Amino acid sequence: MIDIENIKKQFPSLDQMVHDKPLTYLDSAATTLKPKIVLDTIASYYGKQYSTVRRGLYKLSENTTIAYETCRRHVAKFINAASEKEIVFTSGTTDSINLVAASFGRKFIEKGDEVIVSAIEHHANIVPWQIICEEKGAQLKVIPVNDNGELMIDEYKKLLSDKTKIVAVGHVSNALGTINPIKEMIDLAHEKNIPVLIDGAQSAPHIAIDVQALDCDFYAFSGHKIYGPTGVGVLYGKYEILEKMPPYRSGGDMIETVTFEKTTYQEPPYRFEAGTPPIVEVIALSSALDFLEEVGLDNIHDHESELLAYATEKMLEIKGLQIIGTAKEKTSVISFVMQEAHPHDIGTILDSEGIALRSGHHCAMPIMERFKVPATARVSFGIYNTKEDVDTLIKGLHQINSLFDVD
Amino acid sequence: MVNKMGYPEKEQISKDLMALPDHQDKFKYLIKKGKNQPELNQEFKIEKFRIQGCMSKLWLHPQFKEGKIYFSSDSDAAIPKGIAAILTEIYSGLTPDEALEFDSSFLKEVGVAQHLSMNRSNGLVKLYEQIRLYALAFKSLNRG
């Protein structure tokens, strides 16, 4: 059993008043708050040990490079990659997916080919593929979703064909919380030798990831959603695929030799890390992983599952409230609509109670269309949330109903 | 500078809101204000009159009659609808010059301005800008 009160104390930003009410933060699916260990690393690196990486011969740079590359090994271990050479630092999940769509797409996608995504993807796992498909004259195919917000695997099987060049699917839906059966989906694609990219932005903070067991070809996630800094993300790619991919962006540090006639490129992962990387953010990401490992992803999963069950039960007691996304396998995300109050109203009214939650289309407009709602309100839990937070939310939702005269 | 003095109906809104120090009462007032406003004619609920950037649907329809501007508005969300109703009520019946010079700072005092934030999911700041853009357009129309 984990001591949540002790964990909460590690998050200084939780200790603040919003509209004269204590902050109740229920938007961790958008971004998590930061524990002190991450803040301390950032302050300490910018404050003293700061210098460039992989360029200087001097001691300071050497130390920073060691810290930076140690983080790469740490990330590799965290997701059980076969080698740290399979870990590319990016600016976030969006950047990771754009990298694969642009680089893999440029090399391997041709006219008449197909790319498969699902109907519950975040725009970041739709638009980069749309762009490369448009450029190449390829087609985007979409796995449909059932009324519970679960992917229809039989339909997915039908979409897989000789034309499919890649499958790009989220591990967990940001708007609905659905956990997709990615192992099965990867295996099905591999039967036809189709590589699979997993958008792990919403899974990495909740589920222990083993890329070798999953056998995925790419796995992307963000630092800022796993208690780390903004501006840093990870792209895992199988080395033999990364090796075949051309550079995505070009500049310093990704080259081997440059002449005006021809430039040769570094091996992965450096080939994909042009320019000065987010040095301190990468090192602080390692501290976020330390935090996650200390608390334990299994403990996090248990705690959040308990909150999900408690909140779901309490929310369903509220008259006229409908939960959108009722998959059997879910992370701690609850998207909902109310009888009278629009999600915009819900967000505004709860804000006045110090409650931070997301309202809108969650960068997943096709899902809103699918469930015929203009938008939803969404609560999402992190490790620092408690049943008291849920109670505060429930009280706020009752207040909304009373404002709108819904008994 | 045109201020709220001299516009009794605008003073009334200000007074009403000032008398409601509690968030919940303010919301109740805004919701009621929106409900009491006549619904915008369906023919005006089109993209042309839609305020973009708001997570709820928000429409603003302008009219220019005898040198004065008249606005009507609607939204599928109650609080934006109420705020839009207040803004359109304040700005309707003014000449373009009066509208452009109107001191709307009292909105801040009465706690409505917080809803006119820069957050991109909140189109109310765009509603306010659009009102002023229409005023500018009608001003040049008046001259032309």
Evaluate whether residue B26 is within a structural domain: yes
Determine the Cα–Cα distance for residues A306 and A385; give it in Å rounded to an integer: 11
Residue where a domain terminates, one of A249, A276, A294: A294
| Whether residue A241 sits in one domain with residue A188 | yes
In this prediction, residue A327 carries a pLDDT of: 93
Question: Are A305 and A285 within one domain?
Answer: no
Q: Within this chain, do residues A254 and A381 fall inside the same structural domain, yes or no?
A: no
Same domain, A344 and A392: yes
Residues spanned by the domain of A358: 4-27+296-403
Task: Tell me the whole-structure pTM to 2 decimals.
Answer: 0.92
- Summarised one tens digit per residue, pLDDT across range A126-176 is 999 999 999 999 999 999 999 999 999 999 999 999 999 999 999 999 999
Domain that holds residue B26: 8-143
Asked if the interface predicted TM-score (ipTM) of this complex is over 0.95, the answer is no
Strands of the sheet with A164-170, listed across from one edge: A87-90, A233-237, A218-222, A196-199, A164-170, A114-118, A139-143
Q: What is the CATH number of the domain that holds A137?
A: 3.40.640.10
Paired with A218 in beta bridges are A197, A237
- On whether residue B1 sits in a domain, the answer given is no
Q: Which residues of A touch B80 (CB under 8 A)?
A: 344-345
**A38 close to A284: Cβ distance less than 8 angstroms:** yes
Domain of residue B62, CATH code: 3.90.1010.10
Q: Is residue A33 part of a domain?
A: no
Shared domain check, A359 and A242: no
Final residue belonging to a domain, choices A279, A294, A309:
A294
- Across the interface, do A344 and B54 touch by the CB < 8 Å criterion? yes
pLDDT band at B21 (very low <50, low <70, confident <90, very high): confident
Q: Which of A71, A133, A216, A363 is catalytic?
A: A363
Q: Which pLDDT band, with edges at 50, 70 and 90, does A251 fall under?
A: confident
Interface touch A19/B23, C-beta < 8 Å: yes
Computed over every residue of chain A, the mean pLDDT equals 95
Q: Is position A216 annotated as part of the catalytic site? A: no
Please indicate, yes or no, whether residues A382 and A256 belong to a single structural domain of this protein.
Answer: no
Q: Mark whether A251 and A396 lie in a shared domain.
A: no
Placement of tokens 């700061």 in the chain: A50
Q: What are phi and psi of A74, to 5 degrees?
A: -60, -45
Domain boundary among A262, A294, A326: A294
Provide the pLDDT confidence category of residue B111 given band limits of 50, 70 and 90.
low
Tally of domains within chain B: 1
pLDDT in tens, A179-202: 999 999 999 999 999 999 999 999
Residue B128 distance to chain A (closest CA, Å)? 18
Task: Kindly report the nearest CA distance between residue B66 and chain A, in angstroms.
Answer: 37
